Amino acid sequence: MRHFFARGHALAALLGLLACDQLQALAQRRPAQPEKSVPPPVVSGPWLLDPEAGRITVAWLTQAPSIGRVWYGTTATDRLATEEGHAVSEHRVTLASLQPQTQYRYRVEGSAETFAFTSAPEAGAEVPIEVLVYGDNRTNSGDHALVARAAAGEHAPLALHTGDMVVNANDADLWRVWFEEEHDLLASTPFVPTVGNHEITDSGVAYSKYFQHRDRPAYWSLDYGPLHIAVLDSFETSAGATPHSAGVSEAQKAWFEEDLRKVPKDRHVWVLVHQGPYSHPARARPGHGGSEAVRATLAIGRLVHPIEVVFAGHEHFYERGEIDGLSYFVLGGGGAPLEDPDPSFPGVQTAQKALSYAMVEVCGCHARGVVKDIAGRMIDSFRLASCPKPCGNQEMLPALAALEAPDAGSLDAGSRRRGRRRSRTEETADAGVSDAEPTSR
């Protein structure tokens, strides 16, 4: 009996060896299977660039080069967009064939997080939109993080940045912190920045890498529903600009003029630029105040098309005014060390030393907005354009409802009498909206 079991064990061992040999032979005959590649971890981003009707670009940075892939869709992330070209660490993937003004979810491979954004409306569409405007960040002991957090809470479908993100564009660590502090905002809000003087401390290398479309200069324009937004570069290095002095080339001026020629007359035209045409710091500094080069550029454009408003930064405070019929904003309270404005200068309608950002709403021929501090308190409100035609059933920003009330002030009445769109900023006292005390930090 014991002998029988011993023979049985030997037979089983022999069969086992045979099976093992056969498996090895099979494995040798089978073609090698490609190893499943693991996407490298995401180290910064994602953020969203170039929002146009039907498309948007997702950008992010990875620890190692790879071919970027983005999963996206309206309900499930079941569509795949793959990066063209060779493996890189600085990724750009364009999502195409998007429905207008539709919420999309997306996930970048290498990250477990899923985010959502709202796609751009069709160019010229008379649809209500909201736009966040802010700028001049730096890390500055967390002040930028406070502004970014408050701004992210607005859930705006579009953000305009007036330039100056980090103090030294050569410092990769400052960019890492900047992207960390902007993460919640930029993962969900398409981002349209302009070049600040601090973005040319490395000759624009980092700005180009992170934000600039690779096939065009830093000045460009986009149509976003009822808006035409011209992004100017007030620190154009090819025009001799340095971090301490602005410059606009003749080529940029000619482009701006031709760009505006194509814009329908009833379109809201906004200009985004770092150093604006006017600003009034309490203490004069070389390279600050309004830019003559930008004023000259805007003057050329205004001969072609009315400019509803210019959004700028460069000075670290909030200022709103109207000079020579041009409405302008200085929105530079995005986290950089605050400075004192001079609210007494003729044409300045309000100015405050405050960490702040603006939310602007466009609805048909109406354009109006509020400026808030980091606690969410409204520190200013304004109207940029109005007309007798109501803007429909849109639910307005609560702070703006007062502006639309029947007794909202004589300026509204004047607009109705004229029966056409006005383009001007105005004081808010008549509208029953009080300015809060300036916030200083």
Task: Point out which residues bind Fe ion (CB under 5 A).
Answer: 164, 196-197, 314
What residues contact residue 59 under an 8 Å CB cut-off, 6+ apart? 45, 46, 47, 48, 49, 90, 91, 92, 210, 211
Nearer to Fe ion, 70 or 336 (CB): 336
DSSP state of 21: H
Minimum CB separation from Fe ion for residue 387, in Å? 35
**Residue 377, token pair as written in the block:** 């308190």
User: Which strand ranges, in their side-by-side order, compose the sheet holding 103-108?
Assistant: 79-82, 69-73, 103-108, 115-118
Question: What span, in angstroms and rounded, lies between the C-alpha atoms of 71 and 79?
Answer: 5
Q: 246, exposed or middle or buried, with CB in 10 Å at 0-12, 13-18, 19+?
A: buried
Q: Tell me whether residue 288 or residue 383 sits nearer to Fe ion (CB atom).
A: 288
* Spatial distance between the Cα atoms of 176 and 375, rounded to a whole number of angstroms: 25
CB of 373 to Fe ion, least distance (A): 21
Q: How far is the CB of 195 from Fe ion (least distance, A)?
A: 10
Minimum CB separation of residue 248 from Fe ion in Å reads 15
Shortest Å, Cβ 314 to Fe ion: 4
With respect to Fe ion, which residue has the nearer C-beta, 153 or 240? 240
**DSSP state string for 213-272:** -TTS-S-EEEEETTEEEEE--TB-GGGT-BTTB-B--HHHHHHHHHHHHTS-TTSEEEEE
Q: Where are the beta strands (DSSP E) in 67-114?
A: 69-73, 79-82, 88-95, 103-108
Candidates 281, 138, 148, 279; CA nearest to 196 is: 138
Residue with nearest beta carbon to Fe ion? 314
Least distance from Fe ion to the Cβ atom of residue 145, Å: 20
Nearer to Fe ion, 169 or 379 (CB): 169
Which CB sits closer to Fe ion, 66 or 137?
A: 137
Whether the CB-CB separation of 394 and 128 falls below 8 Å is answered with: yes
Nearer to Fe ion, 143 or 164 (CB): 164
To Fe ion, the closest distance from the beta carbon of 197 in angstroms equals: 4
Of 286 and 398, the one with the shorter C-beta distance to Fe ion is 286
Check if the beta carbon of residue 248 is closer than 8 Å to that of residue 297. Answer: yes
186 or 241: whose CB is closer to Fe ion? 241
Least distance to Fe ion from the beta carbon of 313, Å?
6
Residue 39 has, within 13 A of its CA and on its CB side, a CA count of 21
How many angstroms from the chain centroid is the CA of residue 281? 26
